Amino acid sequence: MTRIAFMCLAAIAAPVLAQSQPAKPEGQMTFEGEIVKNRPNEAIKATPLIPREVLFGNPERSRVTISPDGQTISWLAPNEGVMNIWVAPVADVKAGRCITADKRRGIRQYQWAYNGMILYMQDEGGDENWKVFAVNPQGGPAKDLTPFTEIKGPDGKPITMPDGRPLRPRAEIEHISKRFPDVILIGLNNRNPRHHDLYRCNIKTGELTLVQKNDEYDGFLVDDDFTIRLAMQTQRDGSMNLLKADGKGGFAFSETIPQEDSMTTRPAGFDASGKTLYWTETRGRNTAALIAVDMASGAKTVLAEDAKADVSGSIAHPETGKVQAVSFNYDRERWVFVDDTIRPDIEVLQKTAEGDVIVSGRSQNDTRWTVAFRPDNGPIRYYVYDRAAKKAEYLFSNQPKLETMPLSRMTPVVITSRDGLNLVSYLTVPTQYDRNNDGRPDAGPIPMVLMVHGGPWARDAWGYNPYHQWLANRGYAVLSVNYRGSTGFGKSFINAGDGQWAGKMHDDLIDAVNWAVDQKIAKKDRVGIMGGSYGGYATLVGLTFTPEVFACGVDIVGPSSLTTLLENIPPYWYPFLPQLTTRVGDHRTPEGRKFLDSRSPLNFVDRIARPLLIGQGANDPRVKQQEADQIVAAMQKKGIPVTYVLFPDEGHGFQRPENNKSFNAVTEQFLSQHLGGASEPITNDFDGSSITIPAGADLVYGLTEALSSKK
């Protein structure tokens, strides 16, 4: 079922050179003290700058997994600079070869089918209207399994978006089963844009067969026989009804998940027999436990639970589908074993390499696994694990160049909010300022960037984070806060965010900044705020609702008006609209619109007194370009400076490395000007990027010159 989520080293750079202050456009207001006079100190000057190309370019390899027969491993890697799928025999990784031919956007998600073919998803320019493709690792072109380009209305005419372009359908892989190796189940909204019909799809021929027409349900739960067992339907109050299939295409009411549990209670899937249904469950408890329901008797068994954290992941047997281990993540991940036969394997792996263990693939006979290790201060390392020998063989890392770079450690910290909530947070202090590794600057406070995660129904977690490493390397402390509304810490913590956009959710961020200042980590007058999606919104809130706190802000694909955000959701979000209106506010009523307007930065631009950088994708289906355009226009009308970066071939975030690097090059110069950290000059960072600057290019050092020399 669809889940809403706003929301995703060799060369040493030359020393930072003094640069002239950009000229101010005639008639435009300026910010007092907006250009930092004290340039980077000796400690940061002496630290080699990690090139942005290494931090934000394509990884050398990523997303390693193994074929069902255990003979082939696969991964994503660049081919002519674009991420594609590669395969190799397990015994000969050096014989890897590319099997796809994406030339533009790059492939980011794929999986093996049980017949030995590979399935992958791709959208167009970041619009998230996914297509499903199948490719044979033995050779041959990829096959488009969902070759639809438009959705037709009842009159037979294509439905168009406000800009006149046709509304494109969106496909989802719903289920694969070893019992039908040549067939998968696909959800497709090419008939009704708000709901996905369910189809059987032959991945060899592309033949589609309708299984379930859908005009009212959020989604379906099927078993390995491809039998629909359950349907989900969100109600007007944000609760969810669960309905049992009658086997004739109809459904009968079974039970209700109350609104307060709707983010944390879900049927998760059946075992291979179809006799056991797994749930994450908070009804009658606060944190989500994993429970097993016997479908014949209705008996429920709690398999694993944690008093502080929700279930965050699980490992199931590849043949039986029985859950064997469950993970919980409060400040760090820990595993609970449901089946002790897997305990020795995980314990061996935990001693193999540093970092959290990720089992990324298992052969069908369970003799071979692919495993990833994610540390906080190094690249992800991939291994093939032999279960019989209890031995893991190293393959490669995703970014070997990071091995020699001056990376910093990430420290979990728990900050108490003003009303007593525990905010699990992650602090990275530059290694050059933290010689004793205690997570505090050795010689007093330094500039800090508050990185706000998107969602807001998501979370930050421990592990390698390129943004933390990048900013720390430039001389900033970096703090990421799981503010109320974040997931993973129980339903009370999520529900505490209801109705609190720009309210108590923002208070949590301010409390975290005050904590960092009190702990002598952050300089009070040198704190920036930055984030994407909800994090972008939080940035705009920071500069309008608390304009004295932050020295500058970087908003990436953040909504500026909650009213227009909700008015322009994608069609396939409509089944979940009650969740949004009960948790954010209801734009359909006068009272609701008044409330949403009171929490919308667009209506308070006259309060902005600190520099702002905005990044936006023109094809963003979640936070439309309108959100950026309208706040930029409002600021320009009042003569308030703003720099606006727009990518015509991106959506909700910047996927193409060329675009991501170019925006981060702008961001780095912007932060250096206003917080005082080091910066790697913009040189060829714009080459190959679609970057445009509709406003404020002259406000950032070197930006106008870089645009003029872009290739």
Whether 620 is catalytic is yes
Helix axes 466-473, 657-675, angle to 10 degrees: 40
The phi and psi torsions of 318 (rounded to 5 degrees) equal: -65, -20
Residues 6+ apart with CB under 8 A from 56: 466, 470, 657, 660, 661, 664
Separation between Cα atoms, residue 692 and residue 45, nearest integer Å: 31
Q: What are 82-86's contacts with CB under 8 Å, separation 24+? A: 82/58, 82/106, 83/58, 83/107, 83/108, 85/110, 85/118, 85/120, 85/135, 86/61
Separation between Cα atoms, residue 150 and residue 486, nearest integer Å: 36
List the catalytic residue out of 652, 662, 689, 690: 652
Question: Looking at the chain, how many residues does it have?
Answer: 711
The H or E element that residue 504 is part of is helix 504-518
Q: What is the CA radius of gyration of the chain?
A: 25
- Buried b or exposed e, range 236-248, using 16+ CB within 10 angstroms: eebbbbbbbbeee
- Three-state DSSP at 268 gives strand
Dihedral sign computed on CA atoms, order 518, 522, 527, 528: negative
Give the chain's largest Cα–Cα span. 76
List the catalytic residue out of 197, 218, 356, 620: 620
List the catalytic residue out of 177, 239, 533, 690: 533
* Secondary structure (DSSP) of 316-349: E-TTT--EEEEEEESSSEEEEESSGGGHHHHHHH
Whether 460 is catalytic is no
CB 167 within 8 A of CB 571: yes
Tokens 């979940």 identify what position?
576
Separation between Cα atoms, residue 8 and residue 557, nearest integer Å: 12
CB 8 within 8 A of CB 654: yes
Q: Closest Cα to residue 654, out of 149, 59, 57, 80?
A: 57
The H or E element that residue 583 is part of is helix 577-583
Whether 312 is catalytic is no
- How do the residues of the chain divide into helix, strand and coil, expressed in percent and rounded to 5? 20, 30, 50
Residue type, 102: D
The H or E element that residue 294 is part of is strand 289-294
Question: What are the residues facing 416 on neighbouring strands?
Answer: 422
Token representation of residue 139: 């050779």
Q: Which residues form the catalytic set?
A: 533, 620, 652
